[in-house]
Structure 1
Amino acid sequence: MFRRREPVPFAFIAEADTFRSNVTPPPRERATASQMVGRTLIGLTVVGGLVGAVIFGLPALSAEQSPATTQHSEASENR
């Protein structure tokens, strides 16, 4: 890191980027079995919802239309 050449009124501000704590954080708690099952179920629900949305949305996104499903207005037929 580069040092400031001008004097700084508060030394702790100038040295803040080099400060390292000697206190280690406590180790993370392990997730219980019920928490793991809950996270898995939530994940499966989200993925299932996305897959279902894609499956139900595909017919609306298809560009092909068969002649039987094409609708004609009555005004165009009377010409």
Structure 2
Amino acid sequence: MFRRRREPVPFAFVVEADRFRSNVEPPPRPRAGAAQIAGRTLIGLTAAAALVGALLLGMPAMESGPHGKTTQHSEAAEGR
């Protein structure tokens, strides 16, 4: 049914990659400067403030029931 190819695979070195371990490490990441740390902090604080603001503005809309004593009455409902 299925015939195996007897010819060598052109990229046979990929098979051997599992056995090969390199002792070369990538260079260390550069340290973040003061400007980068301040920028990241400001972005984080802005995102947190936006979430809190959305929660505070959205809470009244999520409450059920009438608010206070200001209800609207139509003149037709009074039965004049």
Question: Is TM-score (shorter-chain normalized) higher than 0.5?
Answer: yes
TM-score w.r.t. length of structure 1: 0.67
- Work out which structure has the larger RCO, using CA pairs closer than 8 Å and 6 or more positions apart in sequence: 1
Shift of 1:43: 0.5
Question: Quick one: distance in 2 between partners of 1:58 and 1:74?
Answer: 32
Is 1:45 aligned to 2:64, yes or no?
Answer: no
Identity of matched residues, %: 57
Gap change, CA 1:16 and 1:66, over 3 Å in 2? same
Gap change, CA 1:32 and 1:74, over 3 Å in 2? same
Q: What count of residue pairs does the alignment treat as equivalent?
A: 73
Unpaired segments of 5 or more residues in structure 1?
Answer: 1-6
Shift of 1:31: 0.5
Q: Deviations over 1:10-62 (max 9, x none)?
A: 54232333432221100111100111011101100010001000000000001
Unpaired segments of 5 or more residues in structure 2?
Answer: 1-5
Aligned-residue Cα RMSD (Å) equals 2.7
Structure 1 residues 7-46: aligned runs within 5 Å = 9=9, 10-46=11-47
Is 1:60 aligned to 2:66, yes or no?
Answer: no
Which stretch shifts more, 8-17 or 31-40?
A: 8-17
